[in-house]
Amino acid sequence: MSKKKNEKQTISRNKLLKVAGFGWLFDAMDVGILSFVIAALAIEWQLTPTEMGWIGSVNSIGMAVGAFVFGVFSDRVGRKNIFMITLIVFSVANGLSAFTTSLAAFMVLRFIVGMGLGGELPVASTLVSESVAAHERGRVVVLLESFWAGGWLLAALISYFVIPTYGWRVALLITAIPALYAIYLRIHLPDSPRFTAKKEQEKGSVWQNIKTVWSKQYKRRTLMLWIVWFTVVFSYYGMFLWLPSVMTMKGFSLIKSFEYVLIMTLAQLPGYFTAAWLIERAGRKFVLAAYLTGTAISALVFGNADTTMMLIISGMFLSFFNLGAWGALYAYSPEQYPTVVRGTGTGMAAAVGRLGGVLGPLLVGMMLSNGSSINTIFSIFCGAILVGVLAVVFLGTETKQLELD
């Protein structure tokens, strides 16, 4: 009897990667579709650039709240339970948003969607980090992140084929499907073995865990993570949520801009795979710093591109380096803390990052409204990313193949 019970509580690395990865894919599909929906709503509801920016920002406000709340509680009730709850929250709210007829109602539901998204991502990476061996932990977490590219590709395909013909509402309804997937997770996904092995008395209170993250032992790591998360999310959501809209502002039709963004999105996959290959060889710090530097250079070139070919090529490099850096960041973050506060530490860093995700889209909207050029805006994102590079280089510690505490 006990043997069967143990079998049910274990899962192979590949199966864990698939189960958690598809949850990640659905998250990416939602974020990706939002960027295309914003471009469609701008036409249908005659939105101003500032209103367009607020749609992306309210989503990030929800993600900040969700990352903090769900990250903290994952150290209390388990990674699996939070993973399922967040998946249901964002799926149901996303489906309901398809029926909205006003910007206010749409933004309220986007906040709820954001809570689910923000909570799910750091908890999923923590779950996977705690469930695989040290020698392959970084590679597996980056491969988990690669499902994000699959979600963005699905979003681009749905947007390209569905939105122009059937409208944005049908596209959002399609993304509500993950609610059914949560039922599958409940049956087949065991919790983190490191979390379940903890004794009850080892679980500190929420406040104790927060204080531990900023204790003398971890404050340098926490500061580094907060800076990197803020700069990465600030630039990512500022650039990528506006990508289809920026293409239309550069003179392309809505359908043509969707097509070009789809091409750029294809470059995300090799970005992830090369980062996954390098991260166990060159280390976390090198991959994160190198790919962020590549992102900064690509952003600068994209903002100043004046031909279609240069836009597409620089956009592909932007996708390649930025998403590779995301994979390294998700692998690096849970490795900074012991099991008892790993969800809290990772969730708090992600929450700070989501505040950057609030400011990024808002900044673009306000600067466009004030007549600022695209190259000026992307130069700001380039500078922000370089600040993140400096934080990794001077504050980060290498965690390659170290056993988790």
Task: Look up the domain containing 177 and give its range.
Answer: 10-185+210-395
CB–CB of 150/338 below 8 Å?
Answer: no
Where would I find the beta strands (DSSP E) of 208-278? none
Q: What is the pLDDT of residue 402?
A: 77
Q: What is the pLDDT of residue 6?
A: 42
Q: What is the pLDDT of residue 5?
A: 43
Q: What is the pLDDT of residue 220?
A: 96
Q: What is the pLDDT of residue 118?
A: 87
Q: For residue 124, tell me if it sits in a domain.
A: yes
Beta carbons within 10 angstroms of residue 285's beta carbon: 17
Q: What is the pLDDT of residue 324?
A: 92
Q: What is the pLDDT of residue 217?
A: 93
Structure tokens at 179: 């609610």
Q: For residue 215, tell me if it sits in a domain.
A: yes
Q: What is the pLDDT of residue 1?
A: 40
Q: For residue 96, tell me if it sits in a domain.
A: yes
In the predicted model, residues of the chain with pLDDT beneath 70 are: 1-11, 179, 182-183, 185-187, 198-204, 254, 405
Q: Quick one: how many helices (H) and strands (E) in the chain?
A: 19, 0
Separation between Cα atoms, residue 68 and residue 287, nearest integer Å: 26
CB–CB of 315/394 below 8 Å?
Answer: no
Q: What is the pLDDT of residue 185?
A: 67
Q: What is the pLDDT of residue 4?
A: 41
Among the listed residues 323, 326, 313, 325, the one whose alpha carbon sits nearest the alpha carbon of residue 269: 323
Separation between Cα atoms, residue 185 and residue 8, nearest integer Å: 13
Separation between Cα atoms, residue 108 and residue 68, nearest integer Å: 19
| DSSP class per residue in 18-68 | HHHHHHHHHHHHHHHHHHHHHHHHHHHTT--HHHHHHHHHHHHHHHHHHHH
Separation between Cα atoms, residue 225 and residue 334, nearest integer Å: 10
Structure tokens at 316: 């592909």
Q: For residue 400, tell me if it sits in a domain.
A: no
Q: What is the pLDDT of residue 224?
A: 97
Q: For residue 311, tell me if it sits in a domain.
A: yes
Q: What is the pLDDT of residue 3?
A: 41
Q: How many domains does the chain have?
A: 1
CATH number of the structural domain spanning residue 42: 1.20.1250.20
Q: For residue 260, tell me if it sits in a domain.
A: yes
Separation between Cα atoms, residue 119 and residue 111, nearest integer Å: 12
Q: For residue 205, tell me if it sits in a domain.
A: no
Q: For residue 197, tell me if it sits in a domain.
A: no
